[in-house]
Amino acid sequence: MKKKILLIALLILSLVGCSKIKEYKGTPIDKLSFKSTNYMGGMYTTYGFDFNENTINRIKYGPTPGLEEYKTETILFKTFTDEEEKILIDKLYTCGLFKLKDEYKPNDLIIDGGGWVLTIEYSDGSVKTSIGDNAYPEKIFAKAANAFREICGTGIVWEPYYYR
Tens digit of each residue's pLDDT (9 = 90 or more) over 4-48: 564 454 445 444 444 599 999 999 999 999 999 876 657 889 999
Q: How far apart are CA 25 and CA 90, in angstroms?
A: 9
**Inside any domain, residue 5:** no
Q: Which of 120, 147, 118, 123 is nearest to 21 (CA)?
A: 147
CB within 8 Å of 51: residues ≥ 6 apart: 28, 29, 30, 31, 32, 85, 89
Which pLDDT score is estimated for 1? 57
In whole angstroms, how far apart are CA 125 and each of 29, 31, 51, 52, 54?
10, 11, 14, 14, 19
DSSP string, 22-79: PPP-SSPEEEEEEEEE-GGG--EEEEEEETTTTEEEEEEEEE-TTSS-EEEEEEEEEE
Instruction: Name the domain count of the chain.
Output: 1
Which pLDDT score is estimated for 69? 78
pTM: 0.80
**67 lies in which domain range?**
22-163
**Inside any domain, residue 2:** no
Chain-centroid distance, C-alpha 143 = 9
Q: How far apart are CA 30 and CA 126, in angstroms?
A: 10
Tens digit of each residue's pLDDT (9 = 90 or more) over 36-90: 987 665 788 999 999 999 999 999 988 766 667 778 889 999 999 999 999 999 9
Which pLDDT score is estimated for 158? 80
**Inside any domain, residue 17:** no
**Inside any domain, residue 14:** no
First vs last Cα of the chain: how many Å apart?
39
Q: Write down how long the chain is.
A: 164
**Inside any domain, residue 87:** yes
Would you give the DSSP letter of residue 145?
Answer: H
Tens digit of each residue's pLDDT (9 = 90 or more) over 97-116: 999 999 998 877 766 667 89
Q: Which of 119, 126, 86, 114 is nearest to 102 (CA)?
A: 119
